[in-house]
Chains A and B, each alone.
Chain A
Amino acid sequence: AQSVTQPDIHITVSEGASLELRCNYSYGATPYLFWYVQSPGQGLQLLLKYFSGDTLVQGIKGFEAEFKRSQSSFNLRKPSVHWSDAAEYFCAVGAVRTGRRALTFGSGTRLQVQP
């Protein structure tokens, strides 16, 4: 069964600083990988996704993520954080080969942005 680990429960960065959120996955084949963002009391919005091909993927709001098969990682990055980026971020892995095809989510990383 697939699993996702987000080692950082809470991260605080200063506005304008760079950001990296970590995500490690466990899956027996090439996974489908996703990053979602959630504002308080809201649903989840897709930031970016990786299916195949170029291992560096670009998303919305200036985010990018890099798939590293050797490290089983899919870390999310942003060069300069804005106050509006404060939210909770979830990494997810999709299991294409199982009948369930439901995403498995990490426990999330809450991002706080200091002025």
Chain B
Amino acid sequence: GENVEQHPSTLSVQEGDSAVIKCTYSDSASNYFPWYKQELGKRPQLIIDIRSNVGEKKDQRIAVTLNKTAKHFSLHITETQPEDSAVYFCAASRAPGNTPLVFGKGTRLSVIA
């Protein structure tokens, strides 16, 4: 089955700097890669996702890149702000399909003001 590795497990950046979180996956048939943000004590919320027919997707300060050949994808946050502090999870699955999302173990991002 699918296995998703996520790095780093913790990341501290200065406010205004960029943050990059990387994930690798094992199932070459996976083609749906969402990213979730979980603030302390709250539910995970989808912040961006990418499907294998595109290599990059942006939404304001957030971008995700996908390299299907290398089987890795990354989350990029630019101009970080204190409210970006949270745990970020990457995930992968086949879509459309009936296989569940497999999550990475999360990255705790701290943005220092």
Tell me, yes or no, whether A binds B: no
Chain A contacts to B: CB under 8 angstroms? none
